[in-house]
Structure 1
Amino acid sequence: MTRTAAGAHGVVGVTGATGQLGGRAARRLAAAGVAQRLVVRDAARAPVLPGATTAVATYADGDGLRRALEGVGTLLLVSASESADRVAEHRSAVDAALAAGVRHVVYTSFVGAAPDATFTLARDHAATEEHLAAAAAAAGATWTVLRDGLYADVLPDFVGDDGVLRGPAGDGRVAAVARDDVADAAVAVLRDPTAHAGRTYDLTGPAALTLAEVAQALTAAGRPARYVAETVDEAYASRAGTGAPDWQLRAWVSTYTAVAAGEMARVTGDVAALTGRPATPFADVVAGLVDR
């Protein structure tokens, strides 16, 4: 297959290429013949893909990341792993990318990102979005934000070893999105960044489900589960023994309270608009997980 650049923006950079989302995007770009730079923390884990080179860097190492991204025109900036320093890492990564000459940054955010979002990590994404927009404008670059819903692929992991999905979500709904849908949407933007400059997309599943309905779907797919609604106090108490730091506990509990507040319930057509096909139903995502 002949290798191609991504339109006027040159080589595509993909961060988090060893992860679930970055890896999916990288494989799709390789299949389409797009030249890539895969930025990873561990070269030994980097996927070997046609037309792809590999560079090792972390978000916190601004100088190292700038060197890793030299020659990259368009970048998929996959949000960093959850940590107390996540916003600082994101800002470092944005600044390094723009200093390296990246002309368009595609950032994976979260639905409902806002400074006052109930879900604490959505506040981190809002801060990153604000920095990206300002820094890109100053550098004469452009950006696209993909606000991903809660991953449908991850919801089964919310079920405990006792088969209980528990949390203070009440009867709130969540329009969980398949990782494959997000990867397809990201690739569509990366291959034609100019068409999506300055745009924010909310990537959701095709329906918003209560957690009781999520448990029912898991049970129907062969993963028995039931939903137990907790109070906020009960939620903190049930997770207190994990040894997680306070910021992580707040993030876990606020995932559910954001669902209760309706902040993850909105269903959009952005997946279909970007990919040309409907978003994947939750039941289909779960069936695919069980079949693996």
Structure 2
Amino acid sequence: MPDKNSTPPAVAVTGSSGRLGGETARLLAAEGIPLRLVLRDASRAPGLPGTTTAVADFSDPGACRRALEGIRTVFMVSAAESEDRLQQHFTFIDAAMEAGVEHIVYTSFAGADPDATFTLARDHFATEEKLRETGAKFTLLRNNFYADILPDFADRNGVIRGPAEDGRAAFVARSDVARVAAAILQQPIPHAGFTYNLTGPEALTLAEAAAILTEATGRQLSFHNETVEEAYASRARYGAPAWQLDAWVSTYTAIARGELAKTTNDVELLTGEAPLSLHQLFSRPLN
């Protein structure tokens, strides 16, 4: 039987220097899947067996096209938040089509819609529409908010502040999203045209989440509900542009309106394992 790693890679993973792309690449490499890691800085590529690297920025069409030549399936991790992120996505998708890519697996967002409360979910919807227009195969992973970053919502006093009221969100562990992505990328064809909504096992209020994190980590956390006006005022000191302030505040108002509350069993259906609860995620020993 030929060694998988002796064959040219047919799968490319973007964002492999980050947590989601990196974990997905690690899982695929462990299965012996030859990969091309597409990233902006080759020095940050994870040292994984059977992988090659290609340097490309989403905003550079020529570099993206060259990086994707010979690739059939791409795991497209959405670009870092920026004012021109949508244009970067369009540029990358166009380059992928020119390079002959057949299938793109894209990390979208729960409730992606042109009228979504969370402003960045609107860009994810526009990216989904762009993928549909290409005529190529695609799979959409609509991820809920990552549970991993919840502690980062808290200020130095351990208070999570925002206008979320008693709304709920089905926070999902980043590692569960990586497991789903790795499963799909190993056999992408059956998933063409499908949209998966990836959530944790429960929908929590931020007050409940703070209590769980306190128990699991020993760090005292709490939730304080702000008005929308208070939320903008408390974040004004960062000097962020208007689009970023809107994104920060609408994170909470989307939760308040119930747009992130739906739970699904897609993680378990695709991986055979139930998703991690918030308590399980933060009670695990560190590697």
Q: TM-score, structure 1 length as denominator?
A: 0.95
Is 2:186 aligned against 1:191? yes
Distance 1:20 1:5 in 2: 27
Q: What secondary structure is seen at the aligned counterpart in 1 of 2:72?
A: strand
Offset of residue 98 of structure 1: 1.3
Task: Tell me if the contact between 1:5 and 1:11 (Cα under 8 Å) persists in the aligned partners.
Answer: no
| Match in the other structure for 1:247 | 243
Q: Kindly report which structure 2 residues correspond to 1:48-63, keeping only aligned pairs within 5 A, or say none.
A: 48-63=47-62
**Counterpart AA for 1:194:** I
Structure 1 residues 39-77: Cα deviation after superposition (integer angstroms, max 9, x where no partner) = 010111111211100000000001110001111111000
Offset of residue 2 of structure 1: 3.2
| Match in the other structure for 2:256 | 260
| Match in the other structure for 2:65 | 66
| Match in the other structure for 2:85 | 86
**Counterpart AA for 1:219:** T
Is 2:167 aligned against 1:172? yes
| Match in the other structure for 1:29 | 28
Offset of residue 162 of structure 1: 1.0
Structure 2: stretches of 5+ with no match in the other structure:
none
Task: Tell me if the contact between 1:10 and 1:74 (Cα under 8 Å) persists in the aligned partners.
Answer: no
| Match in the other structure for 1:235 | 231
Q: Kindly report which structure 2 residues correspond to 1:121-200, keeping only aligned pairs within 5 A, or say none.
A: 121-135=120-134, 137=135, 141-200=136-195
Q: What secondary structure is seen at the aligned counterpart in 1 of 2:73?
A: strand
Structure 1 residues 117-138: Cα deviation after superposition (integer angstroms, max 9, x where no partner) = 0000000000000001111x1x
Distance 1:243 1:159 in 2: 19
Q: What secondary structure is seen at the aligned counterpart in 2 of 1:173?
A: coil
| Match in the other structure for 1:3 | 4
> Number of residue pairs matched?
285
Q: Kindly report which structure 2 residues correspond to 1:264-275, keeping only aligned pairs within 5 A, or say none.
A: 264-275=260-271
Q: What secondary structure is seen at the aligned counterpart in 2 of 1:202?
A: strand
**Counterpart AA for 2:193:** G
Q: What secondary structure is seen at the aligned counterpart in 1 of 2:155?
A: coil
Task: Tell me if the contact between 2:9 and 2:36 (Cα under 8 Å) persists in the aligned partners.
Answer: no
Q: Extract structure 1 runs of 4+ deviating beyond 6 A.
A: none
Distance 2:138 2:37 in 1: 19
Task: Tell me if the contact between 1:5 and 1:12 (Cα under 8 Å) persists in the aligned partners.
Answer: no
Task: Tell me if the contact between 1:5 and 1:34 (Cα under 8 Å) persists in the aligned partners.
Answer: no
Is 2:200 aligned against 1:205? yes
**Counterpart AA for 1:202:** N
| Match in the other structure for 1:225 | 221
Distance 1:159 1:277 in 2: 30
| Match in the other structure for 1:19 | 18
Task: Tell me if the contact between 1:69 and 1:102 (Cα under 8 Å) persists in the aligned partners.
Answer: yes
Distance 1:184 1:278 in 2: 11
Q: What secondary structure is seen at the aligned counterpart in 1 of 2:184?
A: helix
Distance 2:264 2:68 in 1: 33
| Match in the other structure for 2:99 | 100
Q: TM-score, structure 2 length as denominator?
A: 0.96
Distance 1:129 1:4 in 2: 32
Distance 2:265 2:133 in 1: 28
Structure 1 residues 250-272: Cα deviation after superposition (integer angstroms, max 9, x where no partner) = 00000000000001100001101
**Counterpart AA for 1:65:** C
CA RMSD of aligned residues (A): 1.6
Task: Tell me if the contact between 1:143 and 1:197 (Cα under 8 Å) persists in the aligned partners.
Answer: yes
Distance 2:273 2:97 in 1: 33
Structure 1 residues 149-177: Cα deviation after superposition (integer angstroms, max 9, x where no partner) = 10000111101101101100000001000
Offset of residue 3 of structure 1: 2.0
Offset of residue 184 of structure 1: 0.4
Q: What secondary structure is seen at the aligned counterpart in 2 of 1:201?
A: strand
Structure 1: stretches of 5+ with no match in the other structure:
none
Offset of residue 218 of structure 1: 1.1
**Counterpart AA for 1:207:** E
Task: Tell me if the contact between 1:75 and 1:102 (Cα under 8 Å) persists in the aligned partners.
Answer: yes
Distance 2:248 2:208 in 1: 20
